[in-house]
Amino acid sequence: MSSDPSGAEEPPVLEQGDSIVARRPFFSGPAGKIFIIWFLMTTVGVLIGIFAPHHLLPTLLSTEGTDVWRTMVLFTILAAPVAAFVYAVAAYSLIGWRHRGNQDEPPEDGPPLRGNSTVTAIWLGVSSVLVLVLLAWGLAVYSAESVSPPHSLQIDVTGQQWVWTFSYPGTGVETRSLVLPINRPVQFNVTSVDVTHGFWPVDLGVQVDANPGVVTVIRATPDKLGKFTVRCSQLCGLYHSFMYAPGSVVTAAQFSQWLQSEGASTTTAQATALVKQ
């Protein structure tokens, strides 16, 4: 394998540097220009990672929703350098290595670089490390979300074509709107009476399918007051578009009042809403 002197200052691809070329200033050679493009693109990517999820996602009302936002930020920042490197090489190849002149005939052949085990090893190593970081983060977040703390508020969710109903066990309250007290872990026990639906309280950042015949479980801890929408995320027939329910996160006192307004007795309402944690 022969090495082309013009790009010898890029350590990953060429095995041996060429002393003549190595004296050239770094930023005037291909490696330097690629580095500049890479740096700019990485910066853009990191900025996108920091700002885009914040502006694009709805206001997420639960700790799980905040985790989604954090994951987006982290993953974008981690992916930005890799994506930027690929883009930078591609962009530079169009700037610096493009065949100019008569496009009807092919240019001379390029250097016969058939591979480079060092570069491949570095590439494999870096991508493996990145994947490990992503996995560690994802698994940690997931396992933290998979446990129902004691005193979780239980809510039975029933999906059917094309209405959601929510029942608060022990209170006799069964409604079409989902009202949750703030700072209280909620466990949704979700099922369906006909076909598969997707229970998705959008702004809580969690979802699980409602399957006929079984109960699936999802948890969330609302930590901000506000209104949200429950949508159906699984195509469920004719009125899938219209299968939604209004939801809101309220204070414990308001929640108790709401339960009473929906027909629960004062005692059960207060017992359900005002649990000591």
Partner 1 sequence: MVDVAAEVPAGPTGPGDATRRVRRGPLGFAITLVIALAVFAGVGLLFHAQTYSSPVGTQVATKVGTSTVNGVAMQHVSLHFNTYPDASGSVNGVPIHPGGNQSWPSYGPTNQYQVPAHALVTVTIRQYDSGGSLNNPWFDKVRGTVGGTARINGKVVTSINPNNVGHTFTVRGTPGTDPGFFLNVPLPLVPGDSQADNGKYETIVFSFVSGDKGLYAWNCEFPCGTSIAGFGGPMNAFGYMSGFVHVV
Partner 2 sequence: MTTDLTRPLLLEDTPIGPTAGGFYRRQNVYTGLAAGILLGFVGWLISNAMLEGSNWGTDMVVTVTMVGWVIGFNLGVGTFNAPLRWMLGHDQTYEDELYAAGVGQGRKRYYKFCTDHKVVGTQYLVLVVVLFAIGGTLAMMMRTQLITPHTDFLSANAYNAIVSIHGMCMIIATIIMVTGPFTNFVMPIMIGAKDMAFPRLNAMSFWVVVSAIPPLLATFVLGGVDAGWTTYAPLSVQAPPAMDAFAITMIVFVISVTVSGVNSIVTVLTMRAKGMTLGRLPIFTWASLVGAALSIYAMPALLIAFTSMITDRVVGTSFFVAGQGGTGWLWENAFWIFGHPEVYIILIPPVGAMLEVASTFARKPLFGYKVTIAAFVAVAALSIMVWAHHMFTTGWAPELAGPFMVTTEIISIPTGIIFLCLIGTLWKGRIWTRLPMYFVYLFLWNFIIGGVTGIYLSDTPADEFFHGDMFVTAHFHYTLLGGAMIAATAGLCYWFPKITGKMLNERIGKTAFWIIAIGIQVTYFGMFWEGFEGMPRRVAFYDPIFQHANDMATVGAYMLMLGWIVLLYAGINSLRHGPVAPANPWHSKTLEWKVPTPVPLVNFLVDPVVTSDPYGYGEPEPVGPLIIPPPHPDRELVPNLSSDNPLAKDDG
Tokens of 125: 């190593």
Out of 19, 20, 25, 114, which residue is the one contacting partner 2 (CB under 8 A)? 114
Out of 44, 50, 90, 274, which residue is the one contacting partner 2 (CB under 8 A)? 90
Interatomic CA distance for residues 36 and 28, integer angstroms: 10
98-133 b/e (C-beta count within 10 Å ≥ 16 → b): eeeeeeeeeeeeeeeeeeeeebeeeeeeeeeeeeee
Ordered strands of the 178-181 beta sheet = 178-181, 244-250, 226-232, 197-201, 208-210
Nearer to partner 1, 104 or 108 (CB): 104
Task: Rule CB under 8 A: say whether 159 interacts with partner 2.
Answer: no
Question: Contacts with partner 2 in 227-266 (CB under 8 A)?
Answer: 229, 231-242
Nearer to partner 1, 221 or 248 (CB): 248
Nearer to partner 1, 109 or 242 (CB): 242
Interatomic CA distance for residues 228 and 245, integer angstroms: 9
- Which spans of this chain sit near partner 1 (rule: CB under 8 A)? 102-105, 158, 160-163, 165, 174, 176-177, 193-195, 212, 229, 231, 237-239, 241-242, 244, 246
Interatomic CA distance for residues 223 and 129, integer angstroms: 34
Residue 75 touches which of partner 2, partner 1, none (Cβ within 5-8 Å per kind): partner 2
Task: Classify residue 245 as exposed, middle or buried by CB count within 10 Å of its CB (0-12, 13-18, 19+).
Answer: buried
Task: Rule CB under 8 A: say whether 185 interacts with partner 2.
Answer: no
Segment contacting partner 2 (CB under 8 A): 104-112, 166-174, 249-257, 260-268? 104-112
Residue 20 touches which of partner 1, partner 2, none (Cβ within 5-8 Å per kind): none
Residue 165 touches which of partner 2, partner 1, none (Cβ within 5-8 Å per kind): partner 1
Interatomic CA distance for residues 146 and 49, integer angstroms: 26
Q: How long a stretch of residues is the chain?
A: 277
Out of 146, 148, 183, 266, which residue is the one contacting partner 2 (CB under 8 A)? 146
Among 96, 54, 65, smallest CA distance to 202 is for 65
Shortest Å, Cβ 256 to partner 2: 29
Other Cβ atoms closer than 10 A to 90: 11
Shortest Å, Cβ 7 to partner 1: 29
**Phi and psi for 119 in degrees, rounded to 5?**
-60, -45
Out of 194, 225, 266, 267, which residue is the one contacting partner 2 (CB under 8 A)? 194
